[in-house]
Chain A
């Protein structure tokens, strides 16, 4: 549908001040099964997008498509009004992804892992501050193979806090976290969103995030 020109101008003007992530008509086909099609997503800075759905409904596939790791079978992604395919590397200045796998090296210490993350992105907090925020003080020099699953997950989430990214894409971020840590991270997500960031996440737990910032989509299997 053609859009009036002034509306475009209006959108662009707004996008420069506030991040805006959009997916148009996404489709994903896996093993000859259509997981979803014609999916439209619009998330603005200050919002959390919660993707819900039963196991196997394509939540992880959707998130991987949104990160650009996987090509959608149909549809396109737009970041602040520009196609992600055009932005290429620029898009990744803004995206942080925590997937099923933590993406951490077991043989490196907690601080070495974070240092490596920071060496590929824009750093915000110091390593020690980051570890403090996730309650891993004193684990700086411990190889993370000696940490528990929950502690490792917290370290993976510390990556988000230590680097400056506006779009957080989180796949089941709270797996193996205890109640207190979940609450802590929800508060960090709220902080991130309050400063104009976007969070897109899947979660099986009921989130304690306030309703007015949460937008939900439901995938059906």
Chain B
């Protein structure tokens, strides 16, 4: 028998993380509930001024998505680090960067994807037009994986610390800012009826840069945290 292929290893890591998350459904709800709460409270607090709501909608939804992503980030490597399975993942013939990418993929499916699904509903509360909602969803599709991938580097660095929560936020937030700017910029342009392709291309570029470049520093940081 031969060693399973890299692709199979990738899939088995994703599958394992999805099964584990399914057995901890309650924890899955946390970031989503946070996202929904923050976004729904804004119209209640700001009032029913439709113009104003439309204007702040992209910012509110994106800031909430960003914070929700940050909230769920810490759990990415935590349990694997604590029960020793991370050590074993490092000690496989497969490149750690690819296994890291698998873990981030699973994490995004569990934390980013639910946000995408609930967003059209929330956007309706801000009286966004259908085409603007489309752009908003596109920015979330392109942007939330970037948040997970960049966050993974910082999580890998802080996983060995007992109280790395604040440090994680400080490390990660500056790197999240470009995503936030281009995403809410795109939605703003869409609201004003302007073309959005520039911002979306930029976000595509960020996504591909993140997919190709972040797994290596994350893997290196994990090795450091383990040694």
A interface list, Cβ under 8 A from B: 64, 67-71, 89-90, 92-93, 95, 97, 99-108, 112, 115-124, 143, 164
Per-residue 0/1 for B82-99: is the Cβ within 8 Å of any A Cβ (1 yes, 0 no)? 111101111111110000
Which B residues are CB-close (under 8 A) to A93? 3, 93
Q: Is the CB of A105 within 8 A of B92?
A: no
The reply to whether the CB of B198 lies closer than 8 angstroms to some CB of chain A is no
Residues on B facing A (Cβ under 8 Å): 1-4, 8-9, 12, 16, 19-20, 23-24, 79, 82-85, 87-95, 226-227
Q: Shortest beta-carbon distance, B24 to chain A, in Å?
A: 7
19 sample A-B contacts, Cβ–Cβ < 8 Å, listed by A number: A64-B227, A67-B91, A68-B91, A69-B87, A71-B227, A89-B93, A89-B94, A90-B93, A92-B92, A99-B84, A100-B84, A103-B87, A105-B20, A106-B83, A107-B20, A120-B12, A120-B94, A121-B3, A121-B93
Given A97-B87, A99-B84 in contact, is the A119-B93 Cβ separation under 8 Å? no
Contact A103 B16 (CB under 8 A): no
A108 touches B16 (CB 8 A): yes
Q: Which residue of A lies closest to B20 (CB)?
A: A107
The reply to whether A105 and B83 contact each other, CB–CB distance below 8 Å, is yes
* CB pair B83 A107 closer than 8 Å: no
Interchain CB contact (< 8 A) of B3 among A70, A112, A116, A122? A122
- Tell me if B87 and A120 are in contact (CB < 8 A): no
From B9, B19, B20, B24, give the contact of A119 (CB < 8 A).
B9
A99, B16: Cβ atoms closer than 8 Å? no
Q: Given that A69-B90, A100-B84 are contacting pairs, would A120 and B4 also be in contact in the complex, using a CB cutoff of 8 Å? A: yes
Task: Say how far A60's CB is from chain B's closest CB, in angstroms.
Answer: 12
Distance (whole angstroms) from the CB of A115 to the closest CB of chain B: 8
Assess whether A97 is in contact with B88, with CB atoms less than 8 Å apart: yes
Given contact pairs A69-B226, A103-B88, A116-B12, A92 touches B20 in the complex (Cβ within 8 A): no
Q: How far is the CA of A123 from the CA of B93 in the complex (A)?
A: 13
Q: How far is the CB of B80 from chain A (nearest CB, A)?
A: 8
Contacts of B95 on A, CB cut-off 8 Å?
89
Chain B min CB distance to A52 (Å): 23
What separation, in Å, do the CA atoms of A108 and B85 have in the docked complex?
12
Which chain A residue shows the least CB distance to B86? A103
Chain A residue numbers with a CB within 8 Å of B3 are 93, 121-122
A106 / chain B contacts, CB cutoff of 8 Å: 83
Across the interface, B1 reaches (CB within 8 A) one of A90, A101, A123, namely A123
User: Do the beta carbons of B92 and A120 come within 8 Å of each other?
Assistant: yes
Q: How far is the CB of B130 from chain A (nearest CB, A)?
A: 41
In angstroms, Cα B87 to Cα A89, docked, is: 14
Q: A69-B87, A97-B88, A108-B19 are in contact. List 8 more A-B contacts (CB 8 A).
A: A69-B91, A99-B87, A105-B16, A105-B83, A115-B12, A118-B4, A122-B1, A124-B1
C-alpha spacing A8/B3, complex, angstroms: 31
A123 to B9 Cα, complex, angstroms = 13
Chain B residues positioned under 8 Å from A68 (CB to CB) = 91
Does A122 lie within 8 Å of B12, measured CB to CB? no
Interface centre among A69, A102, A124 (most CB of B within 10 A): A69
Q: How far is the CA of A116 from the CA of B18 in the complex (A)?
A: 13
Contact B85 A104 (CB under 8 A): yes
Interface contact B83-A104, CB-CB below 8 Å: yes
> Given known contacts A71-B227, A105-B16, is B92 in contact with A121 (CB within 8 Å)?
yes
Q: Which residues of A contact B1 (CB under 8 A)?
A: 122-124, 164
Contacts of A118 in B (CB 8 A): 4
3 shortest interchain CB distances as A-B pairs: A101-B84, A119-B12, A103-B84
